[in-house]
Amino acid sequence: MEALICIKPGTFEYKEIPAPVPTPGHAIIKIKRIGICGTDLHAYKGTQPFFTYPRILGHELAADLVSADGADNFWPGEPLTFIPYFNCGKCIACRNGKPNCCTDIKVCGVHIDGGMAEYLSVPAYSLVKSEGLGYDELALVEPLAIGAHGVWRANVQKDEFVLVIGAGPIGLGTMEFARIAGANVIALDINDQRLQFCKDRLKVQYIINASTEDVLARLNEITNGDMPTVVIDATGSQKAINSALQYLAHGGRFVLIGLQKEAFSFSHPEFHKRETTLMSSRNATREDFAHVIDSMKKGLVDPTTYITHREKFNGLKDVFESWLDPATGVIKAVVELD
């Protein structure tokens, strides 16, 4: 079968590799859609932690089931997606219901080869039913679940002001699920096009451009001087993370969904006087996937809103690098395999 392999940062190659064969406890799926996410882009640039090369990227997938051992409620030909964080089931995190941060986690397309190929073998326990959703929708369940998990971690409450920093796909999904939780959502970014997308397409109440506006003044105005009780970083930018504490209300929660390689730092007195709750949000759980699918089925989220670019699998190598350029206006790119 054909696969697209990231040989080293900045270099893709198509190669013929052996197709997966049935093994106990695993399913073979035929890839139909691949969503391109920030992890893939950062891996291509060489700025993503946890990566070794060569690597087959891709973990936002929609597929048809070919065969499965240990998934009796699925049948061949069934459309589906899967949870791409393969956990050990035995460590303290798994025992405590946190398989998303398993001590020996293997994230598909990160620690192990992913879905930029015709077929993929995955643990049968990771399969997720389509519930009637189409391939485009299924490919977007995983990235939306990342945002949903961050909102769950923050324990967002109705009528809270929630500031989401970063209007990329993960940030947009975070805004959606903060809205679904009943929050007053504020989007902060430096890209006017993406901020306008938040306002026009996602109906985010408040948008702020950090490069052209006084962020503190705008937040004071929006929150009547209280400041947001939840700040969620979806950028992975060291500068954004280090400066975000000043935007947080006293007694507030600061959640890091974005990830970068370096240490972050901020003033201990500023952190302490707020009695800040600081937490990370890693991956997502099956409950988050179920919440996303249910929200899609109810019409609370329209995942196709995010798709701005499409490409066939055999053309992906040629266009991938262009998607790194903000000028291309990519919100979410989807790769089609038919």
Q: What is the pLDDT along the chain (338 residues), one digit of tens a residue?
A: 999 999 999 999 999 999 999 999 999 999 999 999 888 988 888 877 778 899 999 999 999 999 999 998 999 999 999 999 999 999 999 999 999 999 999 999 999 999 999 999 999 999 999 999 999 999 999 999 999 999 999 999 999 999 999 999 999 999 999 999 999 999 999 999 999 999 999 999 999 999 999 999 999 999 999 999 999 999 988 999 999 999 999 999 999 998 887 889 999 999 999 999 999 999 999 999 999 999 999 999 998 889 999 999 999 999 999 998 888 889 999 999 97
Question: Cβ-count burial of 74 within 10 angstroms (0-12 exposed, 13-18 middle, 19+ buried)?
Answer: middle
Amino acid at 287: E
Residue 327 pLDDT? 86
Contacting residues for 290 by C-beta, under 8 A, at least 6 apart: none
Cβ-contact 309, 22 below 8 angstroms? no
Alpha-carbon gap, residue 200 to 180, rounded angstroms: 17
Quick check: helix, strand or coil at residue 284? coil
Burial of 14-33, coded b for 16+ CB within 10 Å and e otherwise, reads: eeeeeebeeeeebbbbebbb
Alpha-carbon gap, residue 295 to 149, rounded angstroms: 14
Residue 45 pLDDT? 87
Place of tokens 């990231």: 6
* Domains of the chain by residue range: 2-139+302-336, 147-280
CATH of the domain spanning 2-139+302-336, picked from 3.40.1080.10, 3.90.180.10, 3.30.342.10, 3.30.70.20: 3.90.180.10
Residue 65 pLDDT? 98
Residue 64 pLDDT? 98
Residue 48 pLDDT? 74
From the list 161, 2, 32, 27, the residue with the least C-alpha distance to 83 is: 27
Residue 187 pLDDT? 98
Residues 147-280, CATH architecture: 3-Layer(aba) Sandwich (3.40)
Contacting residues for 329 by C-beta, under 8 A, at least 6 apart: 193, 308
* Intrachain domains 2-139+302-336 and 147-280 with the same fold: no
Alpha-carbon gap, residue 165 to 190, rounded angstroms: 10
